[in-house]
Amino acid sequence: MAAKTHPAPWSRVLVATSILATLLCVGVTLVFGVLVSGSVGWPGWLLLAMPPVCALFVVRGYRVESARIVVLRAGWVTRLPRAGLESVRFEPGAMRRSLRVCGNGGFFSFTGLYWNKELKMHRAFVTDPQRTVVLRYAGRTVVVSPAQPEEFVRELAMSR
C-alpha cells in the first residue's frame, strides 16, 4: 500500500497571524531601525530573520506509513511512531484554551509543547485548530490537523 499524504491547510487565523507578524517584524525594523536610528543594527536583523526562521517550522502535511506517521515540515520531517499509539480521534478545537509552554503560537504554524485542562501537556503540529486530530500514546499526546480529519482517522484505524 502506498503511503498517502494528507495536506495541512492553513486556517484564516493562521494566515492573518502570519501576515501580521511578518509585517510587524519588517515594519518595526524599518521604522525604528532605518528611519529613527539610521541603521538596522542587530535587533533589526534579528526581527528580519524571524519570518524565514519561523517558516522553516511550517507543517506542510502528514503521511501515514506502516510503522509511523510522518509530519512533513519545510526542510525536514518529524516521525511519530505508530507503535504504542493507543487512540486516534477527530476532536475539533482540541487545543482550545491551550497555553503555549514552548514553541510557535501562530507564526506559520502552531507547533511545540502546549498545555490545557483536557489534553494536559501535548505536542502540536497544527495549521488549523478546527481540524485537530488527537493521537494518544501511553506517555504523551500529539495533536495534528490534516485537511480531512475523518479520513485521516479512518486510514490510521484501518491499517492497524
Tell whether the model's pLDDT for residue 77 goes beyond 70. yes
Segment 44-71 shows an average pLDDT of 92
Tell whether the model's pLDDT for residue 11 goes beyond 80. yes
Q: Is the dihedral of CA 6, 12, 17, 18 positive or negative?
A: positive
Give the separation between CA 37 and CA 32, rounded to whole angstroms: 6
Tell whether the model's pLDDT for residue 1 goes beyond 60. no
Tell whether the model's pLDDT for residue 37 goes beyond 80. no
- Cell numbers that stand for 79 in this block: 516521525
To the nearest 10°, the Cα dihedral for 21, 76, 139, 114? 0
Mean pLDDT over each residue of the chain, to the nearest integer: 92
CB atoms inside a 10 Å sphere around CB 127: 27
Q: Can you give the pLDDT at residue 116?
A: 96
